[in-house]
Structure 1
């Protein structure tokens, strides 16, 4: 059987919306991680067969094929091709899976899977709202879709509330989980646990002075339950608040996926092996519950059990998602988002998939552990699962 290996993995530190990375054009931000992942692997950039770039907000500075523009902004030769994909929040996790599929098929040998999102410079929803601002077009959900599912739109906020209600989660449960995300992220950051995965970049402080941006900016080191309890819900009468939701964020991430042949020919040192993948789709109304089904599919496909895994990364789009996932599958909370998640570290939409996997692979290796599973909820009721074996 052919194999696909992760031979380098890097990310930027998350920048708050309007924060340290506000001065970075997203193509330049993505170009920086492309350069770094090639440098870390020690390969000739001219040998890269393709770049697969995840990005959700493909408008404004992220329009005109941001994957290709990232290559043009990098030190890679212009002969390196690229493509941009959108599987919503799972875009760059899907980039990894597409890259692995290309390598496993024998068609390509060195593929960069990456993602980028500047939520400062390309606000969420910009692509959907621009036509309406010019007096043309309507909703992305056609009358036929609305009639089929009986809703005027699909709302991630309503979905998060529905998951909380379905799984019996309270406001106190969500706030406690969010606080633990910040606590774990703060502990990991202070201990230098993210050091191997972060590419330090020039940034700006609040006053506009130059700084080195090397720490995730969204971590609240002084978070308390009392403060969280005072945050108003996102939806009237709801229990999900901005404090128990992922933070809007600027960031980029990249992984180099290599074939066995490339590992041998270039003398590469794999960090991990990509073991198995799954992608499933379900109810687009509740939307964010699908990681449960996707995980079950991946387990059935591989014959693995939840107890086989050392670490899990479950994207913290909203606190109900990992809580419901753990409850439904019997996952160990201590192994789930052990270094905090998007509630503390931020969720740069198109970059989050490869960001989570970068963190997962580095954490497994640092701890001397073997098996990791990553999953993410995605708009439209889709979810990806990727299983990796650290080497």
Structure 2
């Protein structure tokens, strides 16, 4: 069986809600990203067998199979198909995993796994509007208490005993690391600039917009709890509502060789798990354990981790249960600082992980995310030296 290798991975800079990226339609944003990933690789888009796109709120400008629409907008040949998937926050990472599965199965030689979300233009939850009783079945609520994710984050903080100060310090460090990464140009290779036109003006967007440089512990401490009156989870120690897109070009090792392309990493193992749906956000713990077992690796073998910072308690609980070295976790900050464009974040994590492995001359990286309704996803990649 051939290896599934990553040849290229790119992303947009991440925009704040109603910020500098908000004038761009999500299908246009995705199309630009798809075009960029093949152009950088020097690949004829006609050779792409499929495009798998993660997108969470599939309505309005993100409805009607945005994956296929973006393929056509990007100017790919009409023979190149596209599909859109929704595994909530894990959608972008699942798109990359599905791309790898298509390649590993022998069904396809080259697939793009991508993700997009414009939370400015298509608000979170807007796909729940419509006729009927709503998206949450009474049969489901008879079985489980379905609560907002912020309340689940509060449950995690209480169960693991995290204080408000611990959560705020984690968030502070996320901004600090992301700010340093921006100032040192660490994201410059993974981000491509987008020309934005709005209200008669135009500008280039190429820097993550949500990072506080410098962050302020004092301002974080002044924020009120967002979900419970006496809670510890605030807007400051939660991920930001954002806009963005990312794409990862996956192919067989043989295809890369035949095209004279350099494989930059191989996808070693992937895992998806279910977890308790009320506390909901603990899935990265068993997903990490499962993917390590599949890869035949131990935690100490992993050089870098990308753990989605949906809420600070999620990452801290994951670390406490796995014993991971926090010096290896989210080296350039995470979603609390950079933002969390839902459908794009998983592909963004893989993209950032690949580039940082290369920058540090490291070998193994693991990406994991919590997912709504109680799931977790994980992927291990191995950087290849040529």
Residue ranges of structure 1 left out of the alignment (5+ in a row): none
Counterpart in 1 of 2:345?
352
**Aligned match of 1:317 in 296, 307, 310?**
310
Q: Partner residue of 2:292?
A: 299
C-alpha distance in structure 2 between counterparts of 1:241 and 1:120, whole Å: 20
Aligned to 1:92: 92
Q: Residues 204-283 of structure 1 correspond to what in structure 2 (within 5 A)? A: 209-235=201-227, 236-283=229-276
Match of 2:155?
A: 162
**C-alpha displacement at 1:139, in angstroms?**
3.2
Question: 1: distance between equivalents of 2:170 and 2:200?
Answer: 34
Per-residue CA deviations over 1:344-374 (Å, capped at 9, x if unaligned) read: 0000000000001100000000110000000
Q: How many angstroms apart in 2 are the aligned matches of 1:160 and 1:337?
A: 19
Please tell me whether the aligned partners of residues 49 and 111 of structure 1 are also in contact (alpha carbons under 8 angstroms): yes
Structure 1 counterpart of 2:52: 52
> Match of 1:330?
323
Q: Aligned-pair distance for 1:209?
A: 4.0
Deviations 1:311-350 (A, max 9, x none): 0000000000111111111001110001000000000000
Cα gap change, 1:164/1:208 in structure 2, threshold over 3 Å: closer, same or farther?
A: farther
- Say whether 1:138 aligns with 2:133: yes
Gaps of at least 5 residues in structure 2 are none
Contact 1:50 1:82 in 2 (8 A): yes
Cα deviation, 1:167-211, whole Å, max 9, x if unaligned, reads 111100000000000000000000000000001112369x97422
CA distance in 2, matches of 1:261, 1:204: 41
**Number of matched residues?**
383
- The alignment partner of 2:367 has SS state of strand
User: TM-score when scaled to structure 2?
Assistant: 0.97
1:368 aligns with 2:365: no
Counterpart position of 1:148: 143
* Alignment correspondent of 1:61: 61
1:224–1:384 distance in 2 versus 1, CA, 3 Å? same
The equivalent residue for 2:20 is 20
State the partner residue of 2:33. Answer: 33
Partner SS, residue 380 of structure 1: coil
**Pairwise CA distance, 1:224:** 1.0
Shift of 1:222: 2.4
Q: How many angstroms does 1:79 deviate by? A: 1.4
How big is each residue's C-alpha offset from its partner over 1:24-53, in whole Å with a ceiling of 9 and x where there is no partner?
A: 111110000100000111111111100000
Cα distance in 2 for partners of 1:188, 1:373 equals 19
Distance 1:75 1:217 in 2: 29
User: How far off its partner does 1:125 sit?
Assistant: 0.4
Corresponding residue number in structure 2 for 1:171: 164
Aligned residues: CA RMSD: 1.2
Counterpart Cα distance in 2 of 1:209 and 1:8: 32
Partners of 1:48 and 1:170 in 2: CA distance = 49
Alignment partner of 2:236: what SS?
A: helix
SS in 1 for 2:113: strand
Q: Deviations over 1:240-268 (max 9, x none)?
A: 00000000110000010010221121111
Q: 172, 176, 183: which one pairs with 1:183?
A: 176
Distance in structure 2 (CA, Å) of the matches to 1:337 and 1:168: 22
- The 2-side partners of 1:75 and 1:15 are apart by 25
- Between the aligned partners of 2:338 and 2:200, the Cα distance in structure 1 is 22
Kept in 2: contact 1:315–1:342 (CA 8 A):
yes
Partner of 1:120: 120
Q: Say if 2:2 and 2:254, in contact at 8 Å, map to a contact too.
A: no
